[in-house]
Structure 1
């Protein structure tokens, strides 16, 4: 087989297989939407990931990137192989490969058909390699399922070979051991390749590929030159690959992540759950709005307002009902209204017994809008003077807060804290200290 005939044969085969793949891709582009049990970020366990392949093709001592060949001519020889691949992701897998075949060349174009003392060689080899395989452009925005995958590979391994050669004197020879058996040379080999894969079915694919194999030795062709050079060979092949696993699981090699995300987002159960969640959120929002609604503006929401429609400005209690303050009846009531307010030890909290006096003060001041009052807070002599000063002012502010909440304008009330000064009883007795814990009114 000459080089020109080989090129034509390979090109025609490649074109035919591409046509089959394109037709298959067009079929996939029009297929109806179908979902699988696989989920985005669901892990490798939901896919079939192990594949076994067989291939055969043409081996030559030349590679696509060029380089030196120790013979003037090369011969195409048969190559064959098997592979075991573990797909780790949509775009990456590890592949263990075993190959065998022959590499051959001649010096037919040289003077007298010889060169460097050799007429030809024909080397049988075996190799074992481990490579990484990267699928290119695995995400497809047009079709739901990929039908064509382009891939690149690179790895390393070992090659064993035994050259058979013919010398310039037409003497045939080969590498032998001391006992006369064939001697196989062992060398490191680095395969680098690319190819295209066509999906015939989810578990079956047609592979076309080309691999350049770089050895770490220089006698693959039985000739070791006097200057540094490394022998190499290429392998163009076609083959079938079968993926193991149950049919209920998709082949990870052909999964399109875009289609998976689409199916997961438009899953009927998920959409129903989202709609139900929207309804629950709407109910919560309506409930919150009902809780906030205050039709009469009295500061108590309608849900808790026991006295709706109170007039604007009405002072109400926590239930939304108006607070009724007693009206002054006589001068004696007025006099009671401004009685001292007593407090418990170290406390500024109003006693409930003081409410009647404070209500009377509020009623009087609301009926006499020109009247103002000064609140003088005091404390007994226990504790430090600074503490008692703060405590006395807090007591006066407690009285002011009550009066303001009952409807008296804050501007008409002045507050003073006088501490333990001006006692009205003896601080050496408990009875006297009780009387000194007070707030006095000064009317103006």
Structure 2
């Protein structure tokens, strides 16, 4: 165990020291390749990433004394993990983790019966958790970009595992049901550091302590403390999305603000000079255009016959005064008035349509036997180009608003039907008067029936 921890410590120290050689990118006058306009939306970044890791799983942790744990000689075993992360801000992300592997230790404490176990071995089938990941090294006021990002995580999850206890040559499951498997909640807490080894690819070195909400991970209860175990790992993180976009978790927004300031300053100078040069050229062109315009203005404004069309465009010069002309200066044709009269036969067609008109009760739906007489009204409107006013009325049953709406809808229904048969919609007016204009008493059924009507006025 001590040998494995020593090797892991030497590896971590070497990477940290070596990483300092490229930890900070020198400040240059050129815009960073990770430049993003300040206050841009998340679409400008790669915010999703996945990671894989492998490392050491052990009951040993940096918290508390190992002598007080259920087994006093922890072993190091292989662990493996993966995660998917969504970066919310440059500093905060939400991470879903998977962890698997094996836990092992020797020499248990004395139990209440004065006996011990030689060892235990627990298969960690899976540990699934949701954690907050906080990056603390990506915002710098000194350098364009940091190549190292320290972070810490904390979350909550559930784990599924099978403890096996061994005494001599005998091994037994701690639990006798469900094939010895157990499900418990746990709290993962970790720290680590990421090295940017390529754009969108990070080396991830971390250490995580997992606090289990139970004392059965090793299959043995001793003392009053719940079990815990650690996972020291190395892995790779891969940013998802377009390679042209920077990864949000390693992006330094301060550098983008500085770059934006420099670009805006230079762009302002260039823009001002361009505007000055353009204005000088525009003034010279205006002088030339003004001279040409003054020379040609007379022929474009002279109107000898006073018809409102300049001689340059007038195709009919010398038009008599007061004559209405078109755009080319030629007289407009005189329209002849054609009078169309409403005959008694026309009125009979309309009266028949009124007499045969029926709607579904309380609705604006025209009943089918009314179609024939309405068709003759439509033919009349098309043939003689008459205008028609439709006035809808109701009795006083119901509210004023409902009756007004129903009378309007019925008049509009007739208009829509006539238009569908070819009548000119602009020559049909549909109005609803509700119960305001009765022609009979609303106190009798016959009177109310007479008041429920649609009047046709042909003109």
Query: 1:43 maps to which residue?
Result: 41
Q: State the Cα distance separating 1:43 from its structure 2 match.
A: 1.6
Query: 1:101 maps to which residue?
Result: 101
Which stretch shifts more, 128-137 or 169-178?
169-178
Work out which of the residue numbers 225, 228, 232 in structure 2 matches 1:229. Answer: 225
The 1:116–1:60 alpha-carbon spacing in structure 2 relative to 1, beyond 3 Å, is farther
Aligned pairs for 1:156-195 (under 5 A) are 156-167=156-167, 170-175=169-174, 178=177, 182-195=179-192
Aligned pairs for 1:244-263 (under 5 A) are 244-263=240-259
Unpaired runs of 5+ residues, structure 2, are 280-459
**Contact kept in structure 2, 1:189 and 1:215, CA below 8 Å:** yes
Query: 1:218 maps to which residue?
Result: 215
Following the alignment from structure 2 to structure 1, what is the Cα–Cα distance between the partners of residues 207 and 114?
30
How big is each residue's C-alpha offset from its partner over 1:236-277, in whole Å with a ceiling of 9 and x where there is no partner?
Answer: 111011001112111111111111001111115873279649
Q: State the Cα distance separating 1:20 from its structure 2 match.
A: 3.6
Q: State the Cα distance separating 1:146 from its structure 2 match.
A: 1.6
Q: State the Cα distance separating 1:48 from its structure 2 match.
A: 0.4
Is residue 43 of structure 2 the alignment partner of residue 14 of structure 1?
no
Aligned pairs for 1:81-92 (under 5 A) are 81-92=81-92
Following the alignment from structure 1 to structure 2, what is the Cα–Cα distance between the partners of residues 23 and 42?
31
**Contact kept in structure 2, 1:29 and 1:142, CA below 8 Å:** no
Which stretch shifts more, 49-58 or 15-24?
15-24
- Two-structure CA RMSD over aligned residues (Å): 2.8
Following the alignment from structure 1 to structure 2, what is the Cα–Cα distance between the partners of residues 69 and 25?
39
How big is each residue's C-alpha offset from its partner over 1:69-128, in whole Å with a ceiling of 9 and x where there is no partner?
Answer: 1112111111110010111111110110000011111118x79xx974311101111200
Following the alignment from structure 1 to structure 2, what is the Cα–Cα distance between the partners of residues 138 and 37?
14
Following the alignment from structure 2 to structure 1, what is the Cα–Cα distance between the partners of residues 7 and 29?
38
Q: State the Cα distance separating 1:6 from its structure 2 match.
A: 2.0
Q: Which has the larger radius of gyration?
A: 1
Which stretch shifts more, 263-272 or 241-250?
263-272
Query: 1:348 maps to which residue?
Result: none
**Contact kept in structure 2, 1:107 and 1:115, CA below 8 Å:** no
**Contact kept in structure 2, 1:175 and 1:182, CA below 8 Å:** no
Unpaired runs of 5+ residues, structure 1, are 284-444
Following the alignment from structure 1 to structure 2, what is the Cα–Cα distance between the partners of residues 274 and 87?
37
Secondary structure (helix, strand or coil) at the match of 1:267 reads: helix
Following the alignment from structure 1 to structure 2, what is the Cα–Cα distance between the partners of residues 21 and 61?
30
**Contact kept in structure 1, 2:91 and 2:134, CA below 8 Å:** yes
Which stretches of structure 1, 4 residues or more, deviate above 4 A after TM superposition? 175-178
Following the alignment from structure 2 to structure 1, what is the Cα–Cα distance between the partners of residues 16 and 171?
43
**Contact kept in structure 1, 2:47 and 2:240, CA below 8 Å:** yes
**Contact kept in structure 1, 2:58 and 2:75, CA below 8 Å:** yes
Secondary structure (helix, strand or coil) at the match of 1:29 reads: coil
Aligned pairs for 1:235-384 (under 5 A) are 235-268=231-264, 271-272=267-268, 276=272
Following the alignment from structure 2 to structure 1, what is the Cα–Cα distance between the partners of residues 192 and 107?
32
Following the alignment from structure 2 to structure 1, what is the Cα–Cα distance between the partners of residues 176 and 29?
64
Work out which of the residue numbers 56, 61, 64 in structure 1 matches 2:62. Answer: 64
Following the alignment from structure 1 to structure 2, what is the Cα–Cα distance between the partners of residues 138 and 211?
21
How big is each residue's C-alpha offset from its partner over 1:27-72, in whole Å with a ceiling of 9 and x where there is no partner?
Answer: x326663345621111211000111111011111122121531112
- TM-score, normalised relative to structure 1: 0.56
Q: State the Cα distance separating 1:199 from its structure 2 match.
A: 0.4
Secondary structure (helix, strand or coil) at the match of 2:7 reads: helix
Following the alignment from structure 2 to structure 1, what is the Cα–Cα distance between the partners of residues 28 and 249?
19
Query: 1:74 maps to which residue?
Result: 74
